[in-house]
Amino acid sequence: MLKLLTIIGARPQIIKAAALSRAIKNDFQGQITEVIVHTGQHYDENMSQVFFDELDIPQPNYNLNVGSGTHGKQTAAMIDGIEEILLKEKPSAIVLYGDTNSTLAGAIAASKIHVPVVHIEAGLRSFNKSMPEEINRIMCDHVSTLLFSPTKAGYQNLIKEGFKENNTAPYSIDNPKIYHCGDVMFDNSLHFSEIAEKKSGIIDQLKLTKNDFVLATIHRNNNTDEPERLHAIFSALDKITKQHQIKIVLPLHPRTAKLLSQNLNAELYSSIKTNKQIVITEPVSFLGMIALEKNAQLILTDSGGVQKEAFFFEKPCIILRTETEWTELVDCNAAIVTDANENKIIDTFNYFIKNRPASFPKLFGDGKAAQFICSEIVKHIS
Ligand code: UD1
Ligand code: UDP
């Protein structure tokens, strides 16, 4: 029996892990057992526990409770805790998701003591090393044994960085295997789409009319921490609601919630607070989020996950960043990168309201990426 040690910590990782845990439970019982370690990077009820309650993910076997901190302090505490658990549990491999500090900590802790690393969401690049995520994902990929890229572009990035397509088994940190395998988040969106429609009451709770509101999320560190960027984005949102008489729903990440009053000038802050068309809420559950995405007219976001979910649910997306790792979305004209440029955000909104994207091709696999990943792990990890 293979023992996988899965590291989760930030909200999107908890959601991603649901797909693999589901595949293990349904199709790999007797072949794979999973030990789940929550680093505690995210800890508010609505940033963590809500997903366990709703998505049928096993409760973590360990919680390191590291909480928030500077990159160094947070990552160091995680490395320390993860190493101790690896030495005790002696897993066959560690499974890491995405590009957060929890991912990096898992990669460092495991690779140094020769535990094979399985990286899910490998190969994605923004080519912008001022992002902490870019550093985390590059470091993690380069100590991994099995690298599962959700997109063709991600797979090609790995080849450009020297990974070889023709390595043969047995695989190791020095002889890694790269895959283009589809996206576990596409698996999740298919699995939870109808459940969200049936179970989530969020549209009624927020008094929204289906297809007559816009959804926005903002949490990327440069957008929240640089006052000019935060100002440009919120000023654009304020103007859009007034020009179009349309509601914008904003489930606000705690990072953004904390910085809003500090980084917006008093006039804009007051305008946002009194604007009845801007509906600011606490972070919502994943089913709530899917219900909002499915019923929104358009989505504005700086989130990686939300960009893709906009695409899965065939909604035009305005990307509030200078670049995206999910280049396919832009290549097929389903999303436009506006940066934190107020005029560009407003112009792109006006464009998308009149011109819906022509098509949303199937770019993210067949909805069975998690099963594929499990079957390759069973073949190649001993
Ligand atoms: C992290 C990831 C980012 C990912 C995001 C998903 C890193 C470097 N960044 O960013 O890639 O897109 O998670 O949401 O790993 N906070 C709370 N309660 C919580 C969690 C955070 O109040 O439960 C606040 C704290 O003030 C904290 C701040 O949010 O300092 C930032 O949290 P942190 O986990 O460091 O980074 P994120 O911005 O969430
Ligand atoms: N999400 C959620 N509730 C929210 C906001 C986001 O459940 O209030 C989900 C969203 O549907 C997606 C994931 O969280 O699956 C994205 O996480 P986030 O935007 O925090 O991080 P990123 O994907 O940018 O790393």
Q: Of 326, 318, 365, give the one whose Cα is nearest residue 343.
A: 318
DSSP string, 106-133: HHHHHHHTTPPEEEETTT---S-TTSHH
Tell whether ligand 1 has an atom less than 6 A from the beta carbon of residue 231.
Answer: no
Please determine, for residue 351, whether its predicted confidence score (pLDDT) is greater than 90: yes
Tokens linked to 347: 């112009």
Alpha helices in the chain (DSSP H): 11-27, 49-55, 71-89, 101-112, 132-141, 152-160, 184-199, 202-205, 221-225, 227-244, 254-263, 266-274, 286-295, 304-312, 327-331, 342-354, 369-380
What's the average model confidence in pLDDT over 124-142? 98
pLDDT band at 142 (very low <50, low <70, confident <90, very high): very high
pLDDT for 363: 97
**In a mutational test of the pocket of ligand 1, which residue from 15, 41, 140 has the highest number of ligand atoms less than 8 Å from its CB?**
41
Is 31 within 8 Å of 371 (Cβ atoms)?
A: no
Determine whether 185 is exposed, middle or buried from the number of CB atoms within 10 Å of its CB (0-12, 13-18, 19+).
Answer: buried
- Please tell me the number of the ligand nearest to residue 105's CA: 1
CA 238/CA 120 separation, integer angstroms: 37
Please determine, for residue 261, whether its predicted confidence score (pLDDT) is greater than 90: yes
Tell whether ligand 1 has an atom less than 6 A from the beta carbon of residue 131.
Answer: no
Nearest CA owner, ligand 2 atom 3: 284
List the catalytic residues. Answer: 219
As a whole number of Å, the end-to-end CA separation of the chain is 9
Percent of the chain scoring above 70 in pLDDT: 100
81 torsion bin: left (phi>0), alpha (psi -120 to 50), beta (else): alpha
CA 188/CA 54 separation, integer angstroms: 13
Is 376 within 8 Å of 192 (Cβ atoms)?
A: no
Residues 144, 110, 18, 217, CA torsion sign? negative
pLDDT digits (tens, 9 = 90+) for 216-236: 999 999 999 999 999 999 999
Which residue's entry shows tokens 């360990």?
62
| DSSP state, residue 226 | S
pLDDT digits (tens, 9 = 90+) for 232-243: 999 999 999 999
- Please tell me the number of the ligand nearest to residue 136's CA: 1
Nearest CA owner, ligand 2 atom 15: 305
Question: CA of 342: how far to CAs of 66, 338, 345, in Å?
Answer: 37, 8, 5
pLDDT for 298: 98
What's the average model confidence in pLDDT over 76-93? 98
Is 308 within 8 Å of 329 (Cβ atoms)?
A: yes
Determine whether 328 is exposed, middle or buried from the number of CB atoms within 10 Å of its CB (0-12, 13-18, 19+).
Answer: buried
Closest ligand 1 atom number to CA of residue 12: 6
Ligand 2 — pocket residues by CB below 6 A? Answer: 11-12, 15, 217, 219, 251, 283-284, 286, 289, 303-306, 309
CA 37/CA 27 separation, integer angstroms: 22
pLDDT for 73: 98
Q: Taking all residues of the chain, what is their mean pLDDT, rounded to a whole number?
A: 98
Is 29 within 8 Å of 371 (Cβ atoms)?
A: no
Please determine, for residue 82, whether its predicted confidence score (pLDDT) is greater than 90: yes
**What is the value of pTM for the model shown?**
0.98
Tell whether ligand 1 has an atom less than 6 A from the beta carbon of residue 43.
Answer: yes
Nearest CA owner, ligand 1 atom 26: 255
Nearest CA owner, ligand 2 atom 6: 289
**In a mutational test of the pocket of ligand 1, which residue from 7, 137, 255 has the highest number of ligand atoms less than 8 Å from its CB?**
255
Closest ligand 1 atom number to CA of residue 43: 23
**In a mutational test of the pocket of ligand 2, which residue from 286, 293, 312 has the highest number of ligand atoms less than 8 Å from its CB?**
286
Tokens linked to 30: 């007797």
β partners of residue 56: none
Closest ligand 2 atom number to CA of residue 281: 8
Please determine, for residue 56, whether its predicted confidence score (pLDDT) is greater than 90: no
Please determine, for residue 259, whether its predicted confidence score (pLDDT) is greater than 90: yes
Closest ligand 2 atom number to CA of residue 286: 7
Closest ligand 2 atom number to CA of residue 305: 23
pLDDT band at 120 (very low <50, low <70, confident <90, very high): very high
Nearest CA owner, ligand 1 atom 9: 100
CA 204/CA 209 separation, integer angstroms: 8
Q: Dihedral angle at the C-alpha atoms of 205, 207, 212, 215, nearest 10 degrees?
A: -50
β partners of residue 117: 94
pLDDT digits (tens, 9 = 90+) for 320-350: 999 999 999 999 999 999 999 999 999 999 9
How many Å separate Cα 150 from the centre of its chain? 12
| Ordered structural domains, the chain, with CATH | 2-183+365-380 (3.40.50.2000), 190-354 (3.40.50.2000)
CA 67/CA 70 separation, integer angstroms: 10
